Structure 1
Amino acid sequence: MRQLGISIYPDQSSFEQDQQYLQLAHRYGYTRIFTSLLQLKGDGGKDILGKFRQTVDYANHLGFKTVVDVNPDLFKELGLKYTDLHVLHDLGVWGMRLDEGFTGMEEAQMTHNPYGLKIELNMSQGTNYLDSIMAYAPELDNLIGCHNFYPQEYSGLSDEIFMDYSRKYRQYSLHTAAFVSSHAATFGPWPVNEGLPTMESDRQRQIYSQVTHLKLTGMVDDVIIGNAYASEDELATVAAAFIHCMLILLMKQQL
């Protein structure tokens, strides 16, 4: 199933703001959420986690699937273990995105979790990373991929690197995602905010063109708006572009 997604950052917003944004996105057919717990550090992390739980609970009520960004340091902070992901299950998330990878063995092991949590790989880490995971026989139904987004101008992936890194995921028939950038949004996970696309060539494009560019590569299943909050007009435009591209790709398959 192909999905549209938005991003929310509870540590930089209020529950009421996120709630309104989720309602609006839900109206236009969005079903995925990207968010991050990388800011969860020290005593203040408990407050962030509380806000996060509240937002995810509401998102689940609307039918969204939330993927949360984590890294090895956060495993220690949350008390996570490769063999026991009940903490994330208890948070109500659909899956976790590994911003930084492990050795391959750990990623494969986590796909066998009893909760059906999706383990989302960082597709922008290159192709050898995926091969190392496949060597340990992961549960493919629980393994998906998503590219990075890049907040600073000239830091995004080139079209060539994007294609090179993505092909391996297509060869393994894994579900994939990448980011487009709202021009109305004002924040992301970091202080630098010059847009949050995956590909550098999309940074200055209008959002309809960004979605079209991503989808017509044939390498991306889901499209996620990386920064918050996109305007209602942008949400509608992304949904229209997404549907239009899906129809084009479907027609190509039938020829």
Structure 2
Amino acid sequence: MDNGISLYPGLDNTPDENLLLLAKAARAGIRRVFTSLHIPETNVEALKKELGLLLKAARHRRMEVISDVSPATLKLLDLPEFNPTAFRMLGITTLRLDYGFTAEDIASLTHRFPEMRFQLNASTITHRLLQDLKDAGTDFARIDALHNFYPRRGTGLSEPALVHANILLHRYGIRVGAFVPSQDGRRRSPLKDGLPTLEEHRDEAADLSARHLVALGCDSVVLSDSLPTDEEITALGQLQGDKITLRAHLMTKDPVQKKLLAHAFTSRLDEARDAIRAQESRPLLKEMKAVILPDNTTMRPIGAITIDNRDYGRYMGELQIIRTPQNADARTNVAAMIDKSECNLLQYITPGRKFSFQFDTETDII
């Protein structure tokens, strides 16, 4: 995934803090940097001094730099007119186009400036605009989209609004990203109330929020606040977009079950009412040429990860995530439990969707 961090020169961080943030992000495998150049509270003189240094450092690490464009941006950078080449020379590689650009303008830009990428505002996208872009001959290979973030509490998007926009964009082959706020790092001025795309993420752990966005169809996630923690940066660098990852706690010490739980799975197409059934678990167990003995055959609450033992005959190795509470069964082991805060993600493991588990420590799954 092309995930990112945000930099706000001239605002909250010192130049050294921003350079260190860039270095940490690059080491974590993060390849995008978002910056906004028209925040009213920014110290303009400090921004002008710092911007070139930060852009040079990002270019040295081969990171994509995304900047939104407005009349204030042109004035700040002493540009007489909108010219993508001038932005490219500064080290900005992607321009986020919002108000003031018609479909014809955007289509023209994608052909006239092949060295640049252009980004739509995913939060205000409409079917009409997308169709107009197509009719105007836009090169969609040079386009992606990014949702807004919302500094004021109570103004973030709803989940249905984000999903609707993502579906529209994906119909046209456009990848889409969104923002998550930091919870334990430095939040951006002036409100310091987080910068989420979804309102429900304002006070939620960044790692969980990021995995929720993936479940909702986002192709990239950007940490939006000024100085996220090392843990948040690392988690974003490890984020995978091809499956839903669930944090869980092991309930077994059996090496066979632990080895099975380390795999990624696909939810079966014939969806069960009471559980998510893994398509690959029984064939995988056969490949392992192993036997699962009865172990922790307790009650199965919502979020229990179960594996059928040898007493279930040909179902041995059947892995499920429980959706509806079920009584104990001596033929079924409770191998692990989804963290309660993660159970909301179960609804997105639809038929054919891939999923995997992330356990408390690396040694848990060895």
1:236 aligns with 234
* Structure 1 residue 175, shift from structure 2 partner: 1.8
Any unmatched runs of 5+ in structure 2?
246-263, 267-351, 355-366
Letter in 2 for 1:78: L
Letter in 2 for 1:224: V
2:2 aligns with 3
* Structure 1 residue 80, shift from structure 2 partner: 3.2
C-alpha deviations, 1:20-46, integer Å up to 9, x for none? Answer: 1111111211110000112499xx756
* Structure 1 residue 203, shift from structure 2 partner: 1.5
C-alpha deviations, 1:8-62, integer Å up to 9, x for none? Answer: 0012133211111111111211110000112499xx7565234212101111111
% identical aligned pairs: 26
2:172 aligns with 172
* Structure 1 residue 246, shift from structure 2 partner: 3.0
Structure 1 residues 216 and 15, CA gap change in structure 2 (3 angstroms):
same
* Structure 1 residue 153, shift from structure 2 partner: 1.3
2:24 aligns with 24
User: What is the aligned-residue RMSD (CA, Å)?
Assistant: 2.5
Any unmatched runs of 5+ in structure 1?
none
Residues matched between the structures, number: 246
Distance 2:134 2:49 in 1: 35
* Structure 1 residue 107, shift from structure 2 partner: 1.6
C-alpha deviations, 1:207-238, integer Å up to 9, x for none? Answer: 121011100112x1111001110010111223
2:320 aligns with none
What secondary structure, in the 3-state scheme, does the structure 1 residue paired with 2:169 have? Answer: helix
Letter in 1 for 2:242: M
Distance 1:19 1:163 in 2: 34
Structure 1 residues 95 and 156, CA gap change in structure 2 (3 angstroms):
same
Letter in 2 for 1:206: A
Describe how 1:161-240 pairs up with structure 2 within 5 A. Answer: 161-188=161-188, 191-218=190-217, 220-240=218-238
Describe how 1:1-255 pairs up with structure 2 within 5 A. Answer: 2-12=1-11, 13-39=13-39, 45=44, 48-75=47-74, 78-81=79-82, 84-127=83-126, 128-188=128-188, 191-218=190-217, 220-240=218-238, 242-243=239-240, 246-248=242-244, 252=266
Distance 2:161 2:60 in 1: 38
Q: Which has the larger radius of gyration?
A: 2
User: Contact 1:143/1:174 (CA < 8 Å) preserved in 2?
Assistant: yes
Structure 1 residues 19 and 236, CA gap change in structure 2 (3 angstroms):
same
Letter in 2 for 1:209: L
* Structure 1 residue 75, shift from structure 2 partner: 4.3
Distance 2:219 2:122 in 1: 13
Distance 1:101 1:215 in 2: 30
**TM-score normalised to the size of structure 1?**
0.86
Higher relative contact order (CA 8 A, sep 6+): 1
Answer 1 or 2: which has greater helix percent.
Answer: 1
Structure 1 residues 47 and 211, CA gap change in structure 2 (3 angstroms):
closer
Which piece of structure 1 moves more, 86-95 or 123-132?
123-132
User: Contact 2:121/2:146 (CA < 8 Å) preserved in 1?
Assistant: yes
